[in-house]
Structure 1
Amino acid sequence: MEFTDRLSALATKVKNQADAIATEEATKNAFVMPFISTILGYDVFDPLEVIPEYTADVGVKKGEKVDYAIVRDGEVQILIECKASLGQLKIEHASQLFRYFSVTNARLAVLTNGVVWKFYTDLDAPNRMDAKPFLVLDLMDIDETLIPEIQKLSKDSFDLHSIISAAEELKYVGALKREIAAQFRDPSDEWIKFFTSRVYEGAFTQRVREQFTSLVGKASRQFLTESVNDRLKTALGATTLVSNEAPVTSEPVVELDLDRDTEIETTLEELEGYQIVKAIACGEVKPNRITQRDAKSYFAVLLDDNNRKPVARLHFNSKQKYLGLLDADKNETRHAIESLDEIYQYADEIREAVRRYS
C-alpha cells in the first residue's frame, strides 16, 4: 500500500473512532502507535527503534517521561508526547518536550492527540524547541501539500537535513494559510481596513467600516466560489462523461446569488460538499444541469435549478453535519456525517435521485 493510501486509511479510522476514545492510553493504542508503525514505518515493539515511556533526567527533574522516543542509528531523533484524542492540544502540554529537547540529540518533537499532529524543531534557537510548530497535520482534514514532508519522517525516507531545511518555510506558510482562512471566515478590522483603503478614497469612518464589513465578507465568499468553480471545471473537464453526454460547457459551475437574502451565508464547506454531490451526479447528467440554492436552514443541490427536483440537501449550519436525501415521495432522511468525504458513501442514492427526475 502506498504512503498516501496508508495515511488515508488511518485518517478514516480516526474519523470513525475519535469520539469513542476517551483516555490518553486508548489514544496511544488506537491512533498513535498505528501512526508510528503504519505511517512512519517504525517497529513499536522494537526498543531499538521505539522507546515507550522514555526517561532522561533533566536538572532537578528526575524520572519524567516522554511517551515515545524514536531512535535511528542508536540516537534519539524524534520525541513524541501524547494527550487524549478528545482534548485540545495546547503548548502547555509540551513542557516535557521542551525540557527533553535540550538534553537529547533529537531535532524533532511531536505533540499529538492522535488526531492533530504538531511537529516542532529548533528554528528560533539551537537546541531549544520552538514555541510554534513548523508543521500541523490534522487527520480529520489532511492538507495534501504536507504529505511529502510527513513521508520524509518515515523510516524508509528519513531525511533530517531536508526536513529542517524546509521547516522554516513550512512553519510560516502553514501559519499564514490558517490566518488567511480565519480572515475569510470572520474578517478582522485590520483586514477590512486594508482592503477598503485599496478601493475607497474617502475617510475610514465608522459608517464606512460598517458598510465595508459586509462588502469585504461578500467579496471574500465570491472569490472562494470562483476558486471552487475553477477547480471543479478543471476536474470535470478531465473526466470522461457518460458516452451520450456532450462535453462540459463553459457555463458557471456554481452560481451564488449572494444578494438573495443578506442573512444567508454560504460557507466554503457547503460549496465543497456541493462539489462532491455534483461530481457524483455528473455520472448521470450533464454538469450544467446540477445547480444549487442556499437557504437559511439548508443548502440545496438541485437538478435543472428546479426546487421540485432536489438531489440532496446539506445541513451544515450546526456542529453536527447532515446529508439530506429524499425518496420518490420527497420524504427526507438525514444522515449524520463527520467529514465531507462521507458523502461518497451515499453515491448510489444521489445517482438514483438524479435518475428519477431525468
Structure 2
Amino acid sequence: MDFAESLAALALKVRNQKDGIQTEEATKNAFVMPFISSILGYDVFDPLEVVPEFTADVGVKRGEKVDYAIMRGGEVQILIECKKSIEPLRIEHASQLFRYFTVTNARIAVLTNGEVYQFYTDLDAPNRMDEKPFLVLDLLDIDETLIPEVRKLTKDVFDLNSIISSAEELKYIGQIKRTIAAQFTEPQDEWIRFFTTRVYEGAFTQKVREQFTSLVTKATKQFLNDQVNARLKTALGGSNFDSTIADESADAISSKPVAQEDLDRDTEIETTLEELEGYQIVKAIACSDVKPQQVTHRDAKSYFAILLDNNNRKPIARLHFNSKKQKYIGLFDSDKNETRHPIDSLDEIYLHAAAIRGTVKLHQG
C-alpha cells in the first residue's frame, strides 16, 4: 500500500474499534503504535528507533515520562504523548511535552488520542514548544492537503528542514480553516455582522441579527455546495454529469441478479454526490496505471459503473449505493464476474486498491 492507502486503512481501524477502546494503554496498542510503525515507518520494537516511556529529568521534576521518543542518529527527533481515545485533546494534556521539549533535541512534538494527532514545533520561541499545533491530522476526517506534510516525518524521507519551513504557513492556514468550519455550524456575531452589513443598509439591531443568522448560515452552506459541485463537474470533464444507462445488450458485461431492493427504485436515474466521490477514489487508485481521462463512469438504475476507456467490456468497478441498508463495491475477476463487497464508508474503497489496479492491468493486457 502507498502512504495514503496506509492512512486510510488505519483510519478504518480507528473508526471500527474506537468505541471499544477505553484506556490509554489500549489506545497506544491499538492505534498509536500502528501509526508509528505502519504510517511513519519506525520499528516500535527497536529501542534505537522508538523509546517507550522515555525519561529525561526536567528541573525538580524527576522520573516523568513521555510515552514515546522517536530517535534518529542517537538523538531524539519526535516526542509523542498519548491520551485515551475517548477523551478529546486539550492543551493541558501537553504539559510533559512542554517540559521535555526544552531539554531534548526534539523539534517535533505530537499529542494524540489515537484518532487526532496534533503536531507542534517551536515557531514562537526557540526550544520552547508552541501552544498551538502547526498541523492537525484527524484520521476520521483526513485533510488530503496534509498528507504530503505528514509523509515528511516518515523514516524513509524524514525532512526536518522542510517540515519546519512550512510549519508556520500550515499552522495559520489550519487555524483559519478550522475557524471557517466552525462558522458553518455555529456562526458568531462577528461573522453574521460581516455579511449583513455588506448587503443590508439598515442598522444591525437584535431583530436584524436574528433574521440574518439563518440567512447567512444558509447562504454559506449553499456556497460551499456550489463549490463542491463545480469541482466535481470539472474533474469529470464537463458541465453535465453523464447519466447514460449502461448498455445491457449481448455485448454488455454479465452481472449477478439485481437485488429486489434495487429493482424497487424509482425509474429515474439519480447520480448522487456520494457516488461521484466514490468514483473519484476509484479513479485515483486506477490512475497509478492509466491516464485519468481513460477512467469514466456511467450511472444505471441499479448501479454506478466505472469503466476503462468508456467501454462496457472493460469494467473497473461498480458502486451499489442505492440501498439504504448497506453499500457495496462490485469488483471483477479475470472472467469479468462481479463480486460485491460490503463497505460502510467511502474510505473502505482504499482497502480494495490492489484488486482495482489488478483489473485495470487485465484490461490493458
Same fold? TM cut 0.5: yes
1:61 and 1:210 mapped to 2: Cα distance? 53
Match of 1:285 in 2: 300
Determine helix, strand or coil for the equivalent of 2:299.
coil
Q: Which runs of 5+ in 2 are unaligned?
A: 248-270, 280-296, 305-320, 329-341, 352-365
CA shift, 1:5, in A, is 1.3
2:88 and 2:323 mapped to 1: Cα distance? 33
2:327 and 2:201 mapped to 1: Cα distance? 47
Match of 1:275 in 2: 273
Output one character per residue of 1:258-283: Cα deviation in whole Å (capped at 9) or x when no partner: xxxxxxxxxxxxxxx95114667974
2:167 and 2:277 mapped to 1: Cα distance? 36
CA shift, 1:81, in A, is 0.4
Output one character per residue of 1:83-111: Cα deviation in whole Å (capped at 9) or x when no partner: 11111111111111010000001011000
Percentage of identical aligned residues: 69
Residues 1:69 and 2:84 are matched in the alignment: no
Match of 1:229 in 2: 229
Residues 1:170 and 2:185 are matched in the alignment: no
Match of 1:191 in 2: 191
Match of 1:152 in 2: 152
Q: Contact 1:276 / 1:343 at 8 angstroms: preserved in 2?
A: no
2:343 and 2:19 mapped to 1: Cα distance? 14
CA shift, 1:66, in A, is 0.3
CA shift, 1:31, in A, is 0.8
2:298 and 2:19 mapped to 1: Cα distance? 34
2:209 and 2:65 mapped to 1: Cα distance? 52
Q: Contact 2:51 / 2:70 at 8 angstroms: preserved in 1?
A: yes
Q: Contact 2:89 / 2:113 at 8 angstroms: preserved in 1?
A: yes
2:349 and 2:217 mapped to 1: Cα distance? 28
2:140 and 2:60 mapped to 1: Cα distance? 39
Q: Which runs of 5+ in 1 are unaligned?
A: 246-272, 290-309, 314-321, 326-334, 346-358
Distance 1:186 1:39, change over 3 A: same
Match of 1:211 in 2: 211
Q: Contact 1:118 / 1:137 at 8 angstroms: preserved in 2?
A: yes
Amino acid at match of 1:276: E
Residues 1:17 and 2:17 are matched in the alignment: yes
Distance 1:29 1:88, change over 3 A: same
1:343 and 1:47 mapped to 2: Cα distance? 35
Match of 1:129 in 2: 129
Relative CO higher for 1 or 2, CA cutoff 8 Å, sep ≥ 6?
A: 2
Amino acid at match of 1:151: R
CA shift, 1:241, in A, is 7.0
Q: Contact 1:66 / 1:96 at 8 angstroms: preserved in 2?
A: yes
Output one character per residue of 1:35-79: Cα deviation in whole Å (capped at 9) or x when no partner: 111111111111111111000000110000000000111110000
Scaled by the length of structure 1, the TM-score of the pair is 0.71
Q: What does 1:102-121 align with in structure 2 at a 5 Å threshold?
A: 102-121=102-121
2:5 and 2:207 mapped to 1: Cα distance? 52
2:22 and 2:169 mapped to 1: Cα distance? 35
Match of 1:41 in 2: 41
